[in-house]
Structure formats: C-alpha cells, structure tokens
Amino acid sequence: MPAFTYVAKDKAGKIHRGRKEASNEKELTKQLQEAGWQVSKITKEGAGKKKKGPLARFKKVGLKDLSIFCRQFATMINAGVSLVRCLSVLEQQTANPKLKDSIRDVQNRVEAGETLSRSMMYHNNIFNNLFIGLVRAGEVGGVLDETLDRLSHFLESDLRLRSKIKAAMTYPVLVMCVAFLIVTGLVVFIVPKFIEIFKDFNVAMPAPTALLITVSENSRTPIGMFMIVCGPFLLKTGWGKFVKTKFGKRFWDKSKKKLPIFGKLGKNIAVARFCRTLATLLTSGVPILQAMETVANAIDDEVFSEIIMNARTRIREGDPIGEPLEKSGIFPPMVIQMINIGEETGALDQMLGKVADFYEQEVETQLESLAAALEPLMIVMLGSVVGFIVIAMFMPLIAIINQLSGGEEEPSGGGGGE
C-alpha cells in the first residue's frame, strides 16, 4: 500500500504534519476529513522524484544556484504569489539535488506554521547567517521581495569577484602543474639514462650533476615514488585540515597579509566584502549591531572577524563606527572617512556601497596586473629549472667529449715521430 505525507489543520487551527498509508489520495483525504481535519496538502512518497546519481549528494550548492533561487523567489513574491506556492515552484525548477531537498523541507515547515527564516535555519549549511539575517529583516519589514532582490545582487557580485580571482590564478596553477610533470619526467626517466653513460666513462661529476643524480636516485626509490605520486595530494589534504582549525585559520589569515603582493590583494578583497555585506544588511533594515555580528560570521577572515566583533562591542558602548575600525590599523583611511561621513549624514549604507564598488574595481585591476606579471614569471621559473637540468647533464658530456678527443689525437702524434 502506498504511503503519503500530509499537511492538515484541525478545528482549533493547529497544523498537523504526518505520514500515513492509504490506497489512494481520495481515501486518505476522506479519513482525515472524518477526523475533523481540513486537508491542506497530500503528497505521495517518491512522486516526482528523479533517480539521483551516486555523486548527486556530494554536489555543492554554489553561489550561482542561490542567486537564481533568490531572483526567481523575489519575482514571484513581487507578483503576489503565496509563499508556499513560490517554494513549490522553486523546488520543481531547481536542478541542484541538495537545494531541491532543502527547499522541499522549508516548504513543509512554512506550511506547518514556521517563518521562512526559521525554516531556513535548519539548513545552515546552504543558507548562511547573512542569508537568514536578510530574509528575517525582509519578513519583519514586509519587504521580502526587495530583500531577496538585494540578496541576489549581492550573491552575483560576490560570484563575479570569486570568478575573477579564480580566472587570474588558473594560468599560474596550470603552469605549475605542467612544470611539475616535466621536471618529474626528466628526473625519473631521462636523467637515469645519462647516469649510466657517465658511469661507463668514469667521469668526475660536477656539483650540479651530483646533486641532480642524488635527486634522481632518491626519486626512484619506493618512498620517492610514493612522495611524487601521493605527496601533492597529502600536502593539500593536510594543509586543508590545518587551515580549518581555529589556530590554523588565524595563522594563515595573519600570514597572508604579510606577503609582498598577495597581502594587499587579500586585504582589499576582505575590505570590499565587508563593505558590500554591511551595506546590503543596513539597506535591508538590519540593526547595526546585528549587521556587524552577521558580517563577522560571514566574512572568511579570522583577523577581520575579530576586529569587527571588537568594533561591535565598542559601538554597543556608544562609540562611533569608524573609531574602533581605525584603531585596528587594517582598514584604509579612505574607508574610515567614508564610514564617518556616512554615519554623520545618515547614509551609511550608500557610502559603504560606494566604497565596495571602488575596492571591487581596485581588486579587478590588481588581479589583471597580477595575472600579467605572473605569466612571464612562471615561464622564467620553468625555464630555469629545465635549464639547470640540461646544464647539469651537459657538463659531464663535455668532459667525455674532451676525453675522447684527447684519446684520438695521441696515436696520430706518435705515428708522425716514427
């Protein structure tokens, strides 16, 4: 007998959700009505569900998925469609399996009487604190469509920034991978052939050649082969686990700011994200203290998060916003001045939006310059490594050629004396 999930309301107005077996929907509807309940929804278990692939549950919900979700949600809310109907349409339209399951659960909870923001809190791995905070502000202010529209713009802006960073770093990463494969191939397969020739002629090895031979011999041992094949993966995994710890994350965030070029770039990215996030929250009507806490949790930088939370404490005690941020020494003077002007004129959200625009443009310019500078730098590095290997191999070869040439000249000289 098939099973159905139902949502029904009793005479007292209380919402009931449950699961029950019945021969068909009509039979279950009749049973619930006989119990004095008003049926809101009945869904057959497994109906409309597509078979998921084995990797479907590992698929992440990206910023693009959430941005489309917010934009479509805002459009339907603005058109006067009911909240439950919006969620039902979005659940059917969403292609991402994880997001689809989350929307279905949120819809069921909203039907049961919970608010949208509270329903989303059960899926905080998809809807973060910023998302939930903005939705809550939209519900309280009665402007959920406007809030969702602002959130979609914010997600699109964040997605563009992340895409530019990824695009700028793609070429250097590819060059490093190719360089690693080339050098590994030379050291493991080509250098040993030359070593055999050198041993046959008993040539004295120069220091660069001796170093290269040592590396080649060690790389062909079981431990060496294991490190070549699994080393990069183990290093990446270990580093990933380290930076996920509180100490590791703080250490890495603090170290990044001291790097020559990447430090300034990372700081500008964090400032742009701080200004954009805070501007979006304030425009949506979120109180400043709650907005600062949400920004501290949303920004992916432990150093900035600590500064923002300290500033929040000072603001709660009555200090202006710009003063504690200025004392941190992290925020540039222009950001502080714009915040002070925005606070004085009552247009803090607008000022933060302008600062975010400026720093996002600054980050884009820095990324373009960085990409232009990294390309020749990576080529020079690859050429230097390959050149070292070639020179280290040719130095003994030249000695062998000289040895053979000298050996051929001696007999001809002796014949002339006779």
Confidence (pLDDT) at 6:
76
The 10 Å Cβ neighbour count of residue 50 is 8
Which pLDDT does position 64 carry in this prediction?
A: 87
How much is the pLDDT for 4?
Answer: 76
Work out the average pLDDT over 168-174.
80
Alpha-carbon span 347 to 27, nearest angstrom: 60
Which of 32, 47, 62 marks a domain boundary?
47
Q: How many CB atoms sit inside 10 A of residue 33's CB?
A: 12
Whether 263 is covered by a domain: the verdict is: yes
CATH of residue 382's domain is 1.20.81.30
For residue 228, what pLDDT is reported? 80
Q: With bands split at pLDDT 50, 70 and 90, how would you rate the model's confidence at 247?
A: confident
Q: Does residue 412 register a pLDDT over 60? A: no
- Please answer whether residues 221 and 229 qualify as being in contact, where contact means their C-beta atoms are separated by less than 8 angstroms: no
- Domain assignment present for residue 348? The answer is yes
Q: Is the pLDDT of residue 301 over 70?
A: yes
pLDDT band at 58 (very low <50, low <70, confident <90, very high): low
DSSP for 315-355, please give it: HHTT--SHHHHHHHS-S-HHHHHHHHHHHHHT-HHHHHHHH
Instruction: List, for residues 351-373, the tens digit of each pLDDT value.
Output: 998 998 898 888 888 888 887 77
User: Quick one: how many helices (H) and strands (E) in the chain?
Assistant: 17, 3
Q: Give me the residue label for tokens 């049973």.
A: 31
Least confident of 123-127, 177-181, 206-210, 400-404: 400-404
Measure the CA angle with vertex 214, ends 208 and 215; round to 5°.
90
Position 200: which residue type? Answer: D
- For 26, 71, 195, 344, 353, the CA distances from 356, given in Å and listed in that order, are 56, 21, 59, 19, 5
CATH number at residue 13: 3.10.20
CA–CA separation, 311 and 161 (whole Å): 26
For the chain, what is the domain count? 2
Residue 185: what pLDDT?
Answer: 85
- DSSP type of residue 190: I
The pLDDT score that the predictor gives to residue 59 is 65
Whether residue 22 is contained in a domain is answered as: yes
Residues contacting 163, CB < 8 A, separation 6+: none
* Rounded distance between C-alpha atoms, residue 76 and residue 87, angstroms: 10
Mean pLDDT computed over every residue of the chain = 81
182-190 average pLDDT score = 84
Whether pLDDT at 272 is above 50 = yes
The percentage of the chain sitting over the pLDDT mark of 90, rounded to a whole number, equals 2
Query: Is residue 14 classed as helix, strand or coil in its secondary structure?
Result: coil
The verdict on residue 5 lying in a domain is yes
Q: Residue 20 sits in which domain range?
A: 1-47
DSSP codes joined into one string, 47-67 = TTPPPPPTTGGG----HHHHH
pLDDT (average), residues 271-277: 87
**pLDDT value at position 286?**
83
Question: pTM of the predicted model, to two decimals?
Answer: 0.66
The per-residue pLDDT for 1 is 60
Does residue 111 fall inside a structural domain? Answer: no
Smallest CA-to-CA distance from 164 within 378, 369, 368, 373 is with 368
